[in-house]
């Protein structure tokens, strides 16, 4: 047993300190970024935000809606083969990741879709990215998909970030337990404060010319701004994009003046009892659920939320004088708040 000293930080532990700026308007900032993939050299340009590969948010409709904002979607892996082929043959798939796990069935499904449609973005997703099997799957996926952009995770430490990049990933997904409907930290005691994970893993990834995606922990637009400030190249959202028309969660209705009115939507973690009952026939006797189910407020079209997110990021950029999104980490100074004397962390 050993204890690692030094305080680790979540988004709620810090604020971004404002700085002098010559910017006169939010309209003057550029929220698009261009990234060059580590293993293929191909470039992608857009707003580096993506919907999580949860079955409520990683949907075809969400992909279409976020395409208008230059953002991305990691599709959930439970769509049928036929629906995936139809989608990836269409014009709305250019911003979508095909999601798979580490089973042979997952690999076979990908192979079958690829025979009939073009797949150029893969999300290899597991809760625990620290296993040798996971690294082997990334190596195999890179060998079998040499031209694809591959995102893989989840991990929270620099050493494993480097291992996944060297195995074939272009983007490493970061986060163990920060999600609003994830209970891994409570059940297992395992995890890592999300902002510190971003700072440490981004440093490791950028040294190898790879990239990171912060997955989980954002509850307000300011958290997304802090993630970018900590060095995240991409930010993945689940709960913040739940409850919209483009989601596929079960609606909750109330009777108001004799009419049924949508008031909420059921949202659950993909390791929850609900998800495993739905897709795996129940919880296996060797494991326990690591997610929960909640009702989120119904929020109409996702366009409104995206405008709020983009507005928050733009406003933050004017506060710190960042003209381009890629400048944010260099312009960010975090101030630790609450509990103890404030401490300044500058990138």
Report the alpha-carbon distance of residue 98 to residue 78 in Å, rounded: 11
Q: Are 170 and 148 spatial neighbours (Cβ–Cβ below 8 Å)? A: no
Report the alpha-carbon distance of residue 251 to residue 141 in Å, rounded: 37
Structure tokens that stand for 102 in this block: 């580490």
DSSP 130-153: TSHHHHHHHHHHHHH-TTSEEEEE
Report the alpha-carbon distance of residue 97 to residue 53 in Å, rounded: 9
- The owner of tokens 């690591």 is 290
Whole-number Cα distances in Å, 277 to 239, 270, 272, 283? 21, 10, 9, 7
Q: Which of 123, 182, 213, 218 is catalytic?
A: 182
Report the alpha-carbon distance of residue 15 to residue 299 in Å, rounded: 27
Which three-class secondary structure state does DSSP give residue 114? helix
Report the alpha-carbon distance of residue 326 to residue 165 in Å, rounded: 21
247 included as an active-site residue: no
Q: Are 150 and 141 spatial neighbours (Cβ–Cβ below 8 Å)? A: yes
DSSP 171-216: EEEE-SS-STTB-HHHHH-----HHHHHHHHHHHHHHTT-EEEEES
- The owner of tokens 């798979």 is 100
Q: Which are the catalytic amino acids?
A: 182
């Amino acid at each position: 047993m050993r204890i690692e000293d030094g305080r680790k930080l979540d988004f709620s532990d810090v604020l971004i300190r404002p700085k002098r700026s010559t910017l006169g308007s939010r309209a003057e900032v550029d929220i698009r970024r261009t990234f060059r993939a580590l293993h293929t050299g191909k470039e992608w340009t857009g707003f580096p935000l993506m919907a999580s590969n949860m079955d409520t948010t990683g949907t075809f409709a969400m992909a279409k809606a976020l395409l208008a904002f230059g953002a991305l979607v990691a599709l959930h892996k439970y769509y049928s083969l036929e629906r995936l082929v139809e989608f990836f043959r269409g014009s709305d798939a250019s911003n979508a990741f095909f999601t798979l796990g580490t089973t042979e069935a997952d690999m076979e499904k990908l192979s079958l879709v690829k025979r009939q449609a073009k797949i150029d973005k893969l999300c290899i997703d597991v809760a625990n990215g620290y296993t040798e099997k996971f690294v082997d799957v990334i190596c195999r996926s890179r060998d079998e998909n040499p031209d694809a952009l591959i995102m893989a995770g989840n991990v929270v430490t620099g050493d494993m970030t480097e291992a996944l990049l060297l195995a074939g990933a272009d983007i490493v997904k970061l986060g163990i337990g920060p999600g609003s409907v994830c209970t891994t930290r409570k059940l297992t005691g395992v995890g890592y404060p999300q902002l510190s994970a971003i700072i440490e893993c981004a440093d490791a990834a950028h040294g190898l010319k790879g990239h990171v995606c912060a997955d989980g922990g954002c509850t307000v637009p300011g958290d997304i701004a802090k993630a970018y400030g900590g060095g995240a190249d991409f930010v993945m959202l689940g709960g913040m994009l739940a409850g919209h028309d483009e989601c596929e969660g079960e609606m909750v209705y109330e009777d108001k003046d004799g009419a049924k009115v949508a008031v909420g939507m059921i949202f659950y973690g993909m390791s929850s009892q609900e998800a495993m009952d739905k897709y795996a026939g129940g919880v296996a006797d060797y494991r326990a659920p690591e997610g929960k189910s909640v009702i989120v407020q119904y929020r109409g079209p996702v366009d409104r939320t995206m405008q709020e997110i983009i507005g928050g990021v733009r406003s933050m950029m004017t506060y710190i004088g960042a003209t381009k999104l890629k400048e944010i980490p260099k312009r960010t100074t975090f101030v630790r708040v609450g509990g103890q004397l404030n401490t300044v962390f500058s990138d």
